[in-house]
Structure 1
């Protein structure tokens, strides 16, 4: 396990890399800021707890992560669990104790190398996850782009608890109640992003070096302030903060540390705390491992992340977050996507985004609160489109039905339920298709007139029983059949019994039937591991 991998990354760091990581970190900060606040609101937690978690996700997990491009923060997928846990445990401080314990559990899972289970997620499901997140981002940001902000940033469930609407009906309401000022700002932001990226691709120095996301934010603030002077009806306003970023400001005369909450360790005797901690640790770990696999798919340099190191980083991050009043953390694909498409090269962009969050909380709240959500919606919709381009659907369809069906089921499941349920549905369908295609090739039948070869090609498990029985039923009187088990490393008892029992049937049907190297072959895990070790060493 490469514990010092982050230090190696930073030791070889260069100014040229920083020029890519700085604007990317700023882009992620602008995306993460409203999401941190929205998820805290959805979780029934203090708003600052979302920002604290965002800072920890950048500064701590960003430094220790097993990935160079993954970005962590409070996750929308945990919002319902967090809200129910706070209510069930009686206070936010008791809940923080559970977060600390969850971090310790995750750290232990990392040490035990449990991250290897991420390798069992089918590629079709991972691809479906990325596309679904892209579509959800687009659908959920359309109302913000139109000036309807009834639902918090970061609400990715189809059924919206905040107002009883769903994703589709919310878009309809937004169209009916669209704010002219918000629409003009979001359209102007789209145009600016389009031409900015086009100019950057042509290599024009200013557009290549100055972050397009920052330009969009400056444009949004400028246009809204201009509306206040020349078009008051279009002005989005700051009094009710309905269409603006809303960082809570630290009250005058209070210490900076007044925003932090601390765990109540007297609750360690409460069994519910441990149940909550275990739930958070398992759900957060699964979401992190899925997002880590997705991040590797997005990485332009195709680097392979260390899931075990990521689990340890997440454990330490949640431990620290719980100690100072932050929400539970996971790797988050929305922030990671913004990081990749912002041009990130290394983990420094994630650290930079954490630094920007810290500056915004402690120094920049009055300025940050002038940012209209409609211009940030334009940024997120652009990221969503890059994740869900039509070419991805076409390419996956061309790969065949066994790839496309798990892919599209995952997409539909996430869009019309939520992330965790959709992924669960996609995984079940994906695994069933993997099993089906795998056992389709478990044996091969070759016929030459009345001579038939049934060649067992791989491990023979009971799941191929229907296929094997059908093959034996189709044999004709007078056939000369050879069942060759030479290349089968394992033959299940059920399969062995079927092949042996058919001897009597074959005799009755006047079929010449011979078994070659067909026995109860048992491949021990120890011998398999030794064989694999020798193969790798060679």
Structure 2
């Protein structure tokens, strides 16, 4: 774990600066105490990071769960009741891991996974634009497209030009220039520039700029545009920020419904992020998904017990980790300790960081997830890949993560059904020279199901009288009962149209069988469904 520390330590610093505003923002969007988001980030880094088998995955509070948490706090009658649901949800995730439910993530098409990454990248860009220009009328962490105040993501961006902060914009542009220069040029110039990461330099410049210009009305940055970490007065007030679950309501059905919802959504989001991060990993390592569910379950139990939000593996922090050179899970663990140390020792210094600088960091993360080259590559791969991809992207941007993924998966299934309909059989027409009889050879696919009924019936009904039909099933491994029934029905019409039918199977050739069902039952190889 310590072999790649020289890469993991700088990456953990970047992830820390990315995670800090996200933990606070997601807590705010969830209607929960701000400190609960930091707790979840610490637990996601230290507890989940230690137990997980993921090399570059980073866990913490997720925007995808914020809507569920927001509603549940009201429905369950308080935040402490939600904490109990979080603990129970973690226990349910442990059961999912024991039942080896981690395989579910592998059933999502790669086009949907790529669409998820791209959609999240676009959301990051859109949501950080106001903060980049110092417009703070809307709170950090409002990730929905249609917002509770009647605004949308695009209308909020349009309002930016009515309230641009020159100072915040200047230091954001400076930070962006530092990040690009560091990544493209300086990181290749020497060991120092690899050890000290661009985001750290940008943040330090932001703090220095704020302190130097705080007396300037034009170029200064307002306190509303700074990170807001709770500052305890003493150790007892620090301990007092922790909240504990209310076990008195453990018998309430609504608590268990919420717990199962958290477990299901958190597990699905985690498995999709695992699939995505494994694709991003330059070394193409594979995360053990059942172990990941176990780690996430343990993390949610610990987070819920001490007042934290539910945790999942999250793609924003994971991709920032990978893009910053993280090699092992030590980067995730160290970032958790950095969060813990920072809220204990230096909360006042953290509260000097301009949000516009952090927005510059996140804008580059979003761009790397949603590069224009990705759209071009998916377009070149053809409509079967591009349509599920773009539907997933649009669904995530205009609704939320799970709805977008569901839409993409649904479209992907429709594409599969269409291709299955088209590829059920292959036809070849020839004319016998001696007799002049038209011979139609129908070669059935390896698997023929009820989805293929329409295509096969269409071809059978188009056969002209006096045709010779050869049905080749030598490659067919599965033949649905529905197909056998339409062949039986066709046999009666074939006699009226003087169509001779020959079935070519591995056992030989049979002409005009009396019963196709009896024939295929003898051909046990095809395992027809009754």
- Scaled by the length of structure 2, what TM-score is found? 0.92
Partner residue, 2:434: none
Q: In the TM superposition, what whole-angstrom CA distance separates every residue of 1:98-143 from its partner, at most 9, and x where no partner exists? A: 1111000001001110010111101110010111111111111001
Partners of 1:522 and 1:123 in 2: how far apart? 36
SS state of the match for residue 246, structure 1? coil
Find out whether 1:410 has 2:392 as its counterpart: yes
Contact 1:484/1:515 (CA < 8 Å) preserved in 2? yes
Partners of 1:443 and 1:24 in 2: how far apart? 53
Partners of 1:102 and 1:290 in 2: how far apart? 18
Q: In the TM superposition, what whole-angstrom CA distance separates every residue of 1:69-95 from its partner, at most 9, and x where no partner exists? A: 111111111111111111111121111
Contact 2:84/2:246 (CA < 8 Å) preserved in 1? yes
Partner residue, 1:334: 316
Aligned counterparts, 1:352-367, within 5 A: 352-367=334-349
Decide whether aligned partners of structure 1 residues 484 and 234 sit closer, same or farther in structure 2, where only a CA change above 3 A counts: same
Partner residue, 1:482: 470
SS state of the match for residue 442, structure 2? strand
Equivalent residue for 2:161, pick from 169, 175, 194: 175
Partner residue, 1:344: 326
Contact 2:479/2:526 (CA < 8 Å) preserved in 1? no
Partner residue, 2:29: 42
Partner residue, 2:199: 213
- Which deviates more from structure 2 when the two are superposed, residues 34-43 or residues 437-446? 437-446
Give 1:508 shift: 1.9
Aligned counterparts, 1:97-176, within 5 A: 97-161=84-148, 163-176=149-162
Partners of 2:234 and 2:302 in 1: how far apart? 27
Decide whether aligned partners of structure 1 residues 153 and 339 sit closer, same or farther in structure 2, where only a CA change above 3 A counts: farther
Contact 2:13/2:200 (CA < 8 Å) preserved in 1? yes
SS state of the match for residue 153, structure 1? coil
Equivalent residue for 1:232, pick from 217, 224, 238: 217
Aligned counterparts, 1:107-506, within 5 A: 107-161=94-148, 163-229=149-215, 231-238=216-223, 242-252=224-234, 254-449=236-431, 450-506=438-494
Partners of 2:497 and 2:504 in 1: how far apart? 20
Q: In the TM superposition, what whole-angstrom CA distance separates every residue of 1:241-264 from its partner, at most 9, and x where no partner exists? A: x10100011133625322211111
SS state of the match for residue 326, structure 2? coil
Q: In the TM superposition, what whole-angstrom CA distance separates every residue of 1:488-538 from its partner, at most 9, and x where no partner exists? A: 22211111101121112222222221233462577899xxxxxxxxxxxxx
Equivalent residue for 1:74, pick from 46, 61, 79: 61
Aligned counterparts, 1:18-97, within 5 A: 18-97=5-84
Contact 1:75/1:332 (CA < 8 Å) preserved in 2? yes
- Which deviates more from structure 2 when the two are superposed, residues 270-279 or residues 443-452? 443-452
Gaps of 5+ in 1: 1-9, 526-538
Partners of 1:26 and 1:207 in 2: how far apart? 14
- Which deviates more from structure 2 when the two are superposed, residues 67-76 or residues 147-156? 147-156
> Which structure: larger Rg?
2
Partners of 2:183 and 2:8 in 1: how far apart? 16
- Scaled by the length of structure 1, what TM-score is found? 0.91
